[in-house]
Chain A
Amino acid sequence: MQQLSTLWAIVKKDLATWVRSPSAIAVTVLPALILMLVLILQAAAVTGSPVAIVNQDAGGQAAAKLQHIAQNYDGFYKAQVMSKAAAENAYQSLSIAGVLVIPKGFSQELATGQHPSITWQVRNFNNDTANDLRRALPDILTTFMNSGAAGKSPLQIHVQEHDLHARDASFVGFNMIAVVVMLILQAGIVNAGLAAVREWETGSVKELLMSPARPLTMIAGKVAAGVIASDITGGVALIAAITAGIIAVPGPGLALLTIVVMTLTAVVGSGLGVLLGSALRKTEAVSGVSISLSFYLFFLAGGITDIAYLPRWLQDIATYIPNSYALDALRGTLLYNSSTGILMDIGVLALAGIVALVIGIPVMRRGLSH
């Protein structure tokens, strides 16, 4: 009972120190929050580039249909109809990434089977943006042919799509989960790490050692304070994302699972933090290493992509990164309304938390005994 009250005292003290320390809060939340802001700022442009459509076949019906399809194509950030000269100017000044030119007499030549040719001018600065444009034209042309505006479509291949999720998650929502996971992990690592190192730097470690508290109680208190701080920061970010309409409110069952996953992720982070703090014992080193470590864990778990897109050797590494499982579970509960596979994710996170504590506790104990 006495150990419990000691544990609670350590939790209260560490949390109070965190709340009163703007620099600690800044270390915890600033990088991830700014990343979140950037995602929102960039969201509209990330899925496509601005282009121009030049329709030189002004009166042609087929050309008008093709122009309409291209203009309303959802793979472009913006598609404006322009004159050839205006498009050339916009292209040269880098206002647009591509120019689609429907040639003069296109409709007439199409009707008489003369095989007209469309031109697609592409600013190929790099393969990523250029390939988006290269994929866009065939998509537009297929829609055009299937519309019947070019006569009977010769395309006899019909793609039947079966989606695994009822709807596509938004790009921002998908990445927001990654940022929230990074935020929780980073908050745990930084806060527990700094809470541990503070005892050495302020000399209060001596008082702790002279107190009747057991080393395990002290460590558990530090980890618990880290977990609470992490859950608060992660929760605030999540509520902000829900309020902004980026993420939908989960049902009660999924919300409970979300909290469990967040807390287990925080335990992993705090365990790592105690380990780092006890091993390094310097604020400067802990803050530097912990931020770098958080970013490494973020990217090794797929970062703003999914581990399926990583090369095989990186996928193998991601299997051993705990936040891969946190990402998988939170994307399931918050984006896809699903709890499939969550038990395994929770199991792995719990195991990772135990491993972090099993390694962290002896290191801190050894530190305390010195």
Chain B
Amino acid sequence: MLNDLRLNLVSPFATILSLVVPINFLILFVLFAIGGAQVPVGVVTAGNGHYDASFVQALGDALTFHIHRISSLSAGQQLIQMHRSVATIAIPNGFSSAIATGQTAHVSLTLNNLNADFADDVRRAMPLATLNFYHSVFPTALPFGWKEVDSYTHNVTFLGYLAVSIQTVALLIGGLLFGGRGSAREWESGTMKELMLAPVRPWSVVFGKLLAAMTNGIASAILVLVVLLLLGLRPADWGQFIGVTILTLFVFISLGVAIGSLAKSQLIVTPFAFALGLPLFFISGAFGPITWSTPAAGVIARIFPVAYANAAFQHAVHGYWPIDTRPVWLWTILICWALVALGVSGLAYRRATAKH
């Protein structure tokens, strides 16, 4: 263990790189989350009637748009070309008088329909804005009402939800890198022979590697936690947060040691960590419960511990369980994974040394 930690000091560049990889992930996905929150649109109003202002207000309240007020359609076109906006909404001259007299008012929507998902968000926000508008200015005109019943009183932001999911993937990738690199390094530098000849049991070597990687992993996890705290995400249940951090790290560090022993090359460990981490992140409830996903993605997600760790983190921070697995089963699955991963790391080490 101490040898592995000392080696980290000898190659500080690689160590710093490994420590900041989880932070990198957090930063990159935070960029993605702040990007996806609102749709930038240009709004041009040709008239200045009472209802024009009300409709612009309704557009602003449609849970979708980040509005740039612009002076003309060509200014809107320019914004779209410069990638500053994805649509231009033009409220024509005479809009207010048409609404007041019960005539049809035509609102123009010029849409940069980049893909169906983005375009549909804009298309679906227009009816919401229209109903918001009628609800505010002609509340009795609509023939029926509707009420939304939310499950939770507090709305968690997309960034808040995603940042917690990223904590899991950061531990996954960090764990695989720390465990895998520490193990593969012995083979690359040829020091594995010396370890094999030393009067120590194989399990001692594996445990030493695990403990060294855990030390690094915890340091990295603390860095990620600091970023989460800076984002305003404070765990409500610290015990659960720490518990699931240590369990998740242990699972992936153990698997990392196994991969490092079998691959015997840090060059393979690095892409493997990313290749495993990214897909598991996406299918394991990063954006919402796995039960809302496709059946195939849901089945795959249930095999791995990431979905359970993610749910436990969401509960520790936001106070709800976004998974249909009972907490007692969830913890059992995570603990079983930790034991299996430990066993796999020991077996992989023995297999690798036996072949040597």
Interface status of A162 (Cβ within 8 A of chain B): yes
Q: Name which residue of chain A comes closest to B292, CB basis.
A: A49
CA–CA, A119 to B147, complex, Å?
Answer: 5
Whether, in the assembled complex, A97 has its beta carbon less than 8 Å from a beta carbon of chain B, the answer is yes
Q: Which of A33, A121, A159, A285 is packed against the most chain B CB atoms within 10 Å? A: A159
Specify which chain B residues have a CB less than 8 angstroms from the CB of A42 in the assembled complex. Answer: 282-283, 293-294, 297
Chain B residue contacts of A47, Cβ below 8 A:
116-117, 120
Q: Are A27 and B271 in contact (CB under 8 A)?
A: yes
Proximity bits, B26-64, A CB within 8 Å = 1, else 0? 001101101111111000000000000001000000111
Q: How far is the CA of A154 from the CA of B296 in the complex (A)?
A: 44
A72 within 8 A of partner (CB)? no
User: Chain A residues near B18 (CB, 8 Å)?
Assistant: 288
B13 touches A128 (CB 8 A): no
Give chain B nearest CB distance to A147 CB in angstroms. Answer: 12
CB distance from A45 to the nearest CB of B (A): 5
CA gap between A311 and B144 in the complex, in Å: 39
Q: Is the CB–CB distance between B152 and A168 below 8 Å?
A: no
Question: How far, in Å, is B76 (CB) from chain A's closest CB?
Answer: 11
Interface size bracket, A side: 35 or more
CB contacts (< 8 Å) of B289 on chain A: these are: 94, 97, 125
B265 nearest CB neighbor, chain A only: A23
In the complex, the answer to whether A295 meets B24 with C-beta atoms within 8 Å is: yes
Cα–Cα distance between A171 and B99 once the two chains are bound (Å): 37
Task: Looking at the assembled complex, report how far the CB atom of B57 sits from the nearest CB atom of chain A, in whole angstroms.
Answer: 14
A362 within 8 A of B: no
**Contact yes or no, A38 B32, CB < 8 A:** no
Q: Is A75 an interface residue (CB 8 A)?
A: yes
Contact of A30 among B150, B151, B275 (CB under 8 A): B275
A110 touches B115 (CB 8 A): no
Q: Across the interface, do B279 and A170 meet the contact criterion of CB distance under 8 Å?
A: no
Which single member of A37, A160, A284 contacts B109 (CB below 8 Å)?
A160
Asked if B32 and A116 sit within 8 Å, CB to CB, the answer is: no
The answer, among B109, B279, B291, for a CB contact under 8 Å with A161, is B109
- How far is the CB of B54 from the nearest CB of chain A, in Å? 11
**A370 vs B324: C-alpha distance in the bound complex, in angstroms?**
61
**Residue A156 at the B interface, CB < 8 A?**
yes
For B133, give the chain A residue with the smallest CB separation: A157
If the complex has contacts A115-B145, A160-B107, A287-B266, are A304 and B294 also in contact, measured as CB distance less than 8 A?
no
Additional A-B contacts beyond A47-B117, A159-B108, A287-B266 (15; CB < 8 A): A35-B278, A38-B282, A93-B324, A94-B322, A135-B121, A136-B124, A138-B124, A156-B103, A159-B106, A168-B119, A169-B116, A296-B24, A308-B86, A309-B35, A331-B114
10 A-B residue pairs with CB within 8 Å? A33-B275, A94-B291, A117-B147, A121-B148, A122-B148, A150-B143, A161-B109, A169-B116, A287-B271, A308-B112
